[in-house]
Amino acid sequence: MKKALKLIVLVIMVIAVVPASAQDSNEIEKKYVKEVEKTVRHKRVVKAFEVIDSQDAQTVQNLITLTETPAPPFKEEERAQVFKEMLEAAGADKVWVDEIGNVLALRKGTEGNRNVVLDAHLDTVFPIETDVTVKEKGDTLLAPGIGDDTRGLSMVITVLKALNVADIKTKSDLIFIGTVGEEGLGDLRGVKHLFREDAEMKIDSWISIDGGSIGRVNSGALGSKRYRAVFKGRGGHSWGAFGLANPHHALGKAIDYFTLAASKYTSEGAKTSFNVGRIGGGTSVNSIPFESWMEVDMRSLSPERLLEIDSIFRASMEKAVEDYNASDVDDKVTLVLEKIGDRPSGRHPADMPLIQRAMAATDEFGIKPRLTTGSTNSNIPISLGIPAVTIGRGGRGGKGHSLEEWWLNQAGARAVKLAALVTLLEAGIAN
Ligand SMILES: [Zn+2]
């Protein structure tokens, strides 16, 4: 082949492997870049950004106040009240607490036929007795929960305030929310409540601020299923009642059946994980226990594979009980399976307008957007096919979910502007 011809063939080959759509790449379409450029030049948006800068110290003060108001799992009321007062002070058409404990603020739009949400979660992972006093080490703030997700809550307040001071009218209604139960056994109960089938408010677009530095554009929902399996028996003396069905022995068999079948299943196909995280039960070394329990976590990005690993788990438990009881033991063990976590999976395509807007807006601040997958409030709308994204809380931080959690206000205002911008892009500016 001649050199020129070789080159042409090579060019054709290169063109052939470039994806035709932006789906699954973090390519940003020109129209969204233009939309962002136009929006940041809008004089009221320029004003809102100035307000965010001038509010920076207040945003940090709100962060400290909220962090020092404890919000343990299932006990978010006290912080919810403080957050509600902050929303009221920032100004909204209506502020209320729903049946489950979420705090909502409605800021009406001019058209009002769509609802765009900006959310952060109220709850932390820390029990009530945890010392949540914020300590300062140089410019670094240290306290459990300071970054995850209290920083998000303080950003939500500042965005609302900035839109009011800059007098921006949006086309869609805006709902600013502090949700309960995002963490652990809370199992997304706040956001699940908002998206329940008979919910009176229909949410069209969901933007969460949760964890991570600026640049995070979380479009994937890592789903999980969690169980507590409890094997029960009569219990008795290890010598005197020897031969009696032993729940620990049955549980051992169950773990063996499950891990064998699950290992085989997960050895190929899209990544799917399983883990026996905790086991317990029994009273003493010389007693046949009356109870043996374990907690199990399974995860997958694929909704189908999550369902399959779940059914492998349940079938393994049942078979283990059956086989154990059919062995030469007196009496029987029984099994109680309690579902303690159910977070759905899914992924939004990168060419979805909200994802494109979040990427284009991130790029506008000179940050390369990263499409990520996580387990956040957005899991629920993502699994329902409703536009949703989770963006970072900005600044720098680390040691989340630990007593040494820290956050540093390094260009923190930039993440607040980003949150405001994405919200405005989704809602449309009317004036
Ligand atoms: Zn969080």
Residues 122-143 have pLDDT tens digits of 999 999 999 999 999 999 999 9
Quick one: CA dihedral 114, 118, 122, 123, positive or negative?
A: positive
Tell me how far the alpha carbon of residue 125 lies from the centroid of ligand 1, in angstroms: 9
CA distances from residue 212 to 28, 137, 400 in whole angstroms, order as listed: 21, 21, 10
CA distances from residue 107 to 209, 355, 415 in whole angstroms, order as listed: 18, 23, 21
**CA-based radius of gyration for the chain:** 26
Tell me how far the alpha carbon of residue 141 lies from the centroid of ligand 1, in angstroms: 17
Q: CA-CA distance, 70 to 80, in Å (whole number)?
A: 10
**Is-above-0.75 flag for pTM?**
yes
**Stretch 403-424: mean pLDDT:** 97
Percentage of the chain beyond pLDDT 90 is 93
Tell me how far the alpha carbon of residue 2 lies from the centroid of ligand 1, in angstroms: 59
Tell me how far the alpha carbon of residue 219 lies from the centroid of ligand 1, in angstroms: 15
Tell me how far the alpha carbon of residue 334 lies from the centroid of ligand 1, in angstroms: 37
pLDDT at 6: 53
pLDDT at 26: 79
pLDDT at 20: 37
Cis peptide upstream of residue 167 (ω within 30 degrees of 0): no
* pLDDT at residue 262 tops 70: yes
Tell me how far the alpha carbon of residue 193 lies from the centroid of ligand 1, in angstroms: 17
Tell me how far the alpha carbon of residue 12 lies from the centroid of ligand 1, in angstroms: 46
Tell me how far the alpha carbon of residue 129 lies from the centroid of ligand 1, in angstroms: 20
Tell me how far the alpha carbon of residue 392 lies from the centroid of ligand 1, in angstroms: 10
Tell me how far the alpha carbon of residue 149 lies from the centroid of ligand 1, in angstroms: 5
Per DSSP, the three-state class of 405 is coil
Tell me how far the alpha carbon of residue 376 lies from the centroid of ligand 1, in angstroms: 7
pLDDT at 19: 39
Using a 10 angstrom Cβ sphere, with 0-12 exposed, 13-18 middle and 19 or more buried, the burial of residue 35 is middle
Which are the contacts of 152, defined by CB distance < 8 A and separation ≥ 6?
A: 119, 120, 121, 208, 209, 210, 393
Tell me how far the alpha carbon of residue 118 lies from the centroid of ligand 1, in angstroms: 14
Tell me how far the alpha carbon of residue 124 lies from the centroid of ligand 1, in angstroms: 8
32 pLDDT band, cuts 50/70/90, is very high
Tell me how far the alpha carbon of residue 393 lies from the centroid of ligand 1, in angstroms: 10
Worst-scoring range by mean pLDDT, 18-27, 75-84, 314-323? 18-27
Tell me how far the alpha carbon of residue 132 lies from the centroid of ligand 1, in angstroms: 16
Tell me how far apart the 2 most distant CA atoms of the chain are, in Å. Answer: 91
Per DSSP, the three-state class of 205 is strand
List, in order of start, the domains of the chain with CATH numbers.
Answer: 30-222+345-427 (3.40.630.10), 224-343 (3.30.70.360)
pLDDT at 18: 39
CA distances from residue 320 to 243, 298, 361 in whole angstroms, order as listed: 18, 19, 53
Identify whether the C-beta of residue 310 lies closer than 8 Å to the C-beta of residue 225. Answer: yes
Tell me how far the alpha carbon of residue 430 lies from the centroid of ligand 1, in angstroms: 32
Tokens 């773990």, located at residue: 255
5 pLDDT band, cuts 50/70/90, is low
Tell me how far the alpha carbon of residue 183 lies from the centroid of ligand 1, in angstroms: 7
CA distances from residue 288 to 221, 235, 330 in whole angstroms, order as listed: 43, 5, 12
**pLDDT per position as a tens digit, 357-391:** 999 999 999 999 999 999 999 999 999 999 999 99
* pLDDT at residue 422 tops 90: yes
Tell me how far the alpha carbon of residue 208 lies from the centroid of ligand 1, in angstroms: 10
* pLDDT at residue 415 tops 50: yes
* pLDDT at residue 160 tops 70: yes
Tell me how far the alpha carbon of residue 82 lies from the centroid of ligand 1, in angstroms: 19
Identify whether the C-beta of residue 423 lies closer than 8 Å to the C-beta of residue 207. Answer: yes
Q: CA-CA distance, 201 to 329, in Å (whole number)?
A: 56
* pLDDT at residue 12 tops 70: no
Tell me how far the alpha carbon of residue 401 lies from the centroid of ligand 1, in angstroms: 9
Which are the contacts of 287, defined by CB distance < 8 A and separation ≥ 6?
A: 235, 236, 237, 238
211 pLDDT band, cuts 50/70/90, is confident
Helices (H), 327-411: 353-364, 379-383
Q: At what angle do helices 353-364 and 412-427 cross, to 10 degrees?
A: 140
Tokens of 421: 């911008």
Instruction: Output 50 or 19, whichever has higher pLDDT.
Output: 50
pLDDT at 23: 44
What mean pLDDT, rounded, does the chain reach?
Answer: 94
